Each structure stands twice: as C-alpha cells, then as structure tokens.
Copies of this chain bind each other. A is one copy, B any other.
Amino acid sequence: MQSFLNSKDDIVSKAIDGVVAASGGKVARFPVDHSARVVARTDIDKSKVAIVSGGGSGHEPAHAGFVGQGMISAAVCGEIFASPSIDAVLSAILTVTGEAGCLVIVKNYTGDRLNFGLATEKAKALGLNAEMVIIGDDVAIENAPQPRGVAGTLFIHKLAGFMAERGDSLSDIADAVRAAGKGIFSLGSARDTCTVPGNEKIERLAADEVEIGLGIHGEPGVEIAKFPTPEMLVADLAERLEKAIPDDDTRYALLFNNLGGMSEIESSILFADLMEMSLADRVDLVIGPAAMMTALDMPGFSISLCALNDGLREALIAPVGPAAWPGAQTKHVPEAIVPPSVADTSNFTPSDDDNVRRVITAVADACIAHEDEINLLDAKVGDGDTGSTFATAARTALAQIDDLPLANGADLLRALSRMASQNVGGSSGVLFAIMFAGAAENFTRMQKWGSALSYGLEVMEQYGGAKEGDRTMIDAIKPALTVFSRGQTASEIAKAARAGAERTATLTQANAGRSSYLNEESLKGVMDPGAAAIAIIFEALAGEFD
C-alpha cells in the first residue's frame, strides 16, 4: 500500500478525530462547513485571552495537536495545504473568546492572512477584542518582501499560550508576540518532495540531491544541491542561518523540526550534527528533534531560531498540555559518565585436587576424541561445528588446568563460567557461562554439586528459553541431573543422559536453536548434536567415578 491516506474521502476530518481521541477529552472538534474543522480546548476559561491559530492541514501535529493548556485555544484546520474559510475562523474565534479577547496567529501566506484577517475584523465588528499577528520566519530568500511563516511560528504559539494562561492582557501578549516575531529565523531542507494525497508525487530531486530553503507545502526550495555527507548539508544550513541572524551576542532557542518523513534515528543524527556546528554556540535552549510543523511525509527537517529574553525563556520552558510539544531543554553538554570497570580481574588462586583434575581431563579428552563425530551429526541439522565448539572448550580447559582452582568448587564453577563466555563461541558459550555462574552461586550456599548443577540448569533454561523436549542439549542434561539428584550411580546418570540424547532423534520439531528452522524430514532419526555431546561428557564422568 503506497500510503495509508489512500481511499480516504475526508482525510482532514479523520486526522482530527485522531487528535481528539488521543487527547483524553482535553480537546473537542466541531464542524463548520464541509471544508474546515475547528479543534478547541474543552476547558476554555473566557476570562483569559484566547489564542486562535490554524491554516491549511498537512502540517500535523500543527495546528490541532498544539491545542491545549498553555498553547492554542482553538485551531482552524483547512483542507490539505488550503486556508480554512472565513466562517470557520470566525466560528473558532466566537467559540473560545470572552471578555479578555482573542489573539489570532497566522503563518504568512496570503490565503491565511486574508481569511483569518477578515474573520478577525468581523469578530471586532461583533464587539470582540481581537488582534491578529502574522509570522514570517523563513529566511530562504534574502530580503524577501513577504517571508513565509514556517515552523518558527511554534515559538509564538508557545509564548502567546504561556502569557494567556498566566492571565496577561491581549495588548501585552500582542506586543510581546510582535517583538518576538522579529527575532525568529527558520530554514529547511529535504531529500525528497512530499506526496499530496490524490496528486501524483512531483519528482524534482535526483537520488543524490537535496533541496534547500523550501516551504511546508511541497513548493520548490530556493536551491537544489548535492552534499557528500548529511553532516555537510547540516553545516551549510547552520551557516546560512548564522548569516541571517544579527551579528551580536543575542542568545537563541533552537527548534529542530522533522518535516514528517524522516525516521527517528535520522532525525537524531542530524540534530547531533547540528549541535556540533558553531551555530550551536549561540543557543541556550533546544526544542526537539520532533515532528512539529510537517509537510505531510516530506523527508527533511527545518531549523528555527528564536532570539531569547527572560520572558521568552520562561515561556518556552514552561510545561504545556499538548503531547506534541516536546518541551524546551537547556542546552547542556554533559560530561561522559565513566563507568566502573567490568574487566573480570578476579584471580582465582590455583589449587589442586587429583580427582577433579582426573575428571576434567577425562571429560576434555572425550570431547576432543568425539569432535568429528559430533560435527558430522551437526552437519545434518545445523552448521557442522558443535563438535569443534566442545573440543575447543576442552582444549582450553586442558591448557589452563594448572591455573584452575581445582580444590574450590564455587571458584572452579566461576572459572569455568568465565572460560565458557570468553572461549566458546555462539549461544552455547553464553549458555554454559550462565549455567556455571548460576551453579557457582548455588554451590557457595549449599556446597553440593547436584544442587549446584540443577540450579545452574534452571538458570540456563530461564535465560535461554528452551526446555526439555525442545530438541536441545537440555534433553540430555535434565534427565541426567534428575538421576543425579536421586543419588544414583554415575553409570546410571550417564545412561539417563544417553537415553535423553537418543530421544532427541524422535523429536521432529526443534523449538529453540538453529535446528528450529528445519523441517520434520531433516530432523527425523538424527540426534541433537548438543545432547549427544552431553551424553559423551556424562559417559566420560561415569568412567572415572564407577
């Protein structure tokens, strides 16, 4: 499906339904005419100045998503990229405005200026105290007579919403907003155009091109360019913005806006790049990265700056109701955390024990002797290396046997755990490491091999997720340890392991490990190589004990 916007006859209305449903009853909508929708706070306090904004849709979450405590009182939403009707705007103003009056905020586009403008005048003619401010923050075209209003408008929504919530007067808010508007600068770039529902996508850019200085309606940017890396594109935009702002010591808030089609990781990376540019030295507050003023699915971003003063700082930092506002954070370069060392420096004191040395040697020799046999088995149901995995572990154990704490059970299990995680590849190394670590912990408390190994197996099952019957080495370990726990002889334990291993040849579905990708036919009659190796290990143990 090329877009989930297909086959929708009323995209804007439905999108607004989504905003309302997500708001927890904090906003509601009302229909005005077939071409426009209004979203308003459900907790309007008419003793405070109402903030009305809006414009064409396609910029979600703007503007409906910013309706709520501390931001917009009502958003008037036209069709995609089309200004709402005068009646829709007037209706919004009349719904939310009381004695404190209303500030109407529009982005600088002719349609919005006129329709919101006439609605404002009509509201005034009806006796309401209303003013309109026009925001033109786009610096793409130098000395443009009418710079477009883009994502920087959000600074104004935030400032006006904050002041209104605090109970400031309409004239104070309008004055502050007009002053702040003069210090807002935005610039955007995208690596592709946006798809307007119902229209063919306009293909303007080659695969290695980006567009700079674009608006939020899919209109062409001022320039098509190529950059070897995204970082260089970010550097270029940062430079252009640095040139556009006054060369003084003004501090700025920076808003990083995803134009709608960048993934979260892309957005985060470009923002990280931006924070390394010299432009960031002028910045005290950061907002985003987040999708705030989008151009449908445009894979691009815009950077907006707002000259700060104390009032603006306070206004931008204050928390608000709408979830779409990501909050403003103080720019802060934290020192890297220095973590405690995880290098396992525990030096086990080597100690000797003839029986333990004999048993380990016998088990290791058996693993090495059966390397090819187990590999052949694995070649039928896996990747043919299980024998080598066990043999490698065995060779390591033999090579290091003089350094092992053979006379100390708990330490020996710990040493084996470390050996498994460091020298045995793949999942089995980690699984044995987990089993021996669990066993060591239990041995410390209980000083019993049977209990320790059973507990180790339990821990391995818990983390590994396989259980008896899943066609893994557990099918040999578990019956062996069960017999062990009943105090039976090593031969009987070995027989149980062997029986368990042979039973795996009848299991035609593997629920864990690599064999789980194979079908019944491939598995039938073939022992699980891990289980077979375990049987060999217990048989070697039996040879030493009985």
Contact = CB atoms under 8 A, between A and B. Distances in A.
A501 to B, nearest CB: 21
A4 B270 contact: yes
Contacts of A94: 339-340, 342
Nearest to A115: B430
Contacts of A269: 4-5, 8, 11, 14-15, 18
Given A28-B336, A110-B427, A125-B441, 8 more contacts: A4-B270, A18-B267, A22-B288, A29-B337, A30-B336, A31-B336, A121-B438, A290-B323
Contacts of A108: 465
Contacts of A518: none
A291 interface: yes
Interface string A108-149: 101001110110111011000000101000000000011000
B91 A342 contact: yes
A1 B272 contact: no
Contacts of A265: 5, 11, 15, 57-58, 60, 294, 296
Nearest to A5: B266
A24 interface: yes
Contacts of A210: 1
A42 B338 CA distance: 11
A433 B368 CA distance: 95
A95 interface: yes
Given A146-B511, A265-B57, A269-B14, A1 B209 contact: yes
Interface stretch (A327-335, A491-499, A531-539): A327-335
A22 B344 CA distance: 34
19 contacts: A1-B210, A15-B269, A22-B271, A22-B288, A24-B330, A28-B334, A30-B336, A42-B334, A57-B265, A86-B421, A87-B342, A114-B463, A117-B430, A118-B434, A121-B441, A122-B344, A145-B470, A264-B291, A290-B323
Chain A at the B interface: SS class: mixed
A333 B29 CA distance: 11
Top 7 A-B pairs, shortest CB-CB distance: A24-B329, A117-B463, A25-B332, A18-B268, A18-B272, A17-B272, A60-B264
Nearest to A87: B342
Nearest to A57: B265
A433 B42 CA distance: 32
A347 interface: no
Interface stretch (A47-55, A156-164, A179-187, A255-263): A255-263
A101 B327 CA distance: 31
A134 B464 CA distance: 11
Nearest to A438: B121
Contact of A286 (B24, B91, B433): B24
A1 B463 CA distance: 43
Given A294-B263, A323-B290, A434-B121, A21 B275 contact: yes
A60 B268 contact: yes
A315 B30 CA distance: 33
A344 B5 CA distance: 36
B22 A286 contact: yes
A interface, size bucket: 35 or more
Nearest to A344: B122
Interface string A84-112: 00110011101100000000000010100
A510 to B, nearest CB: 10
A433 B120 CA distance: 12
Contact of A22 (B17, B19, B289): B289
A444 B359 CA distance: 109
Contact of A434 (B42, B117, B291): B117
Given A289-B18, A291-B264, A2 B110 contact: no
A377 interface: no
B260 A261 contact: no
A230 B115 contact: no
* Max chain B Cβ within 10 angstroms of own Cβ: one of A230, A427, A462: A230
Interface in A456-503: 459, 462-465, 470
A110 B466 CA distance: 10
Contact of A208 (B1, B32, B120, B342): B1
A462 B15 CA distance: 33
B260 A264 contact: yes
A229 interface: yes
Interface in A217-268: 227-230, 233, 260-268
A8 B290 contact: no
B38 A90 contact: no
Contacts of A327: 323
Contacts of A165: none
Interface string A412-444: 001000000100000100110110011011000
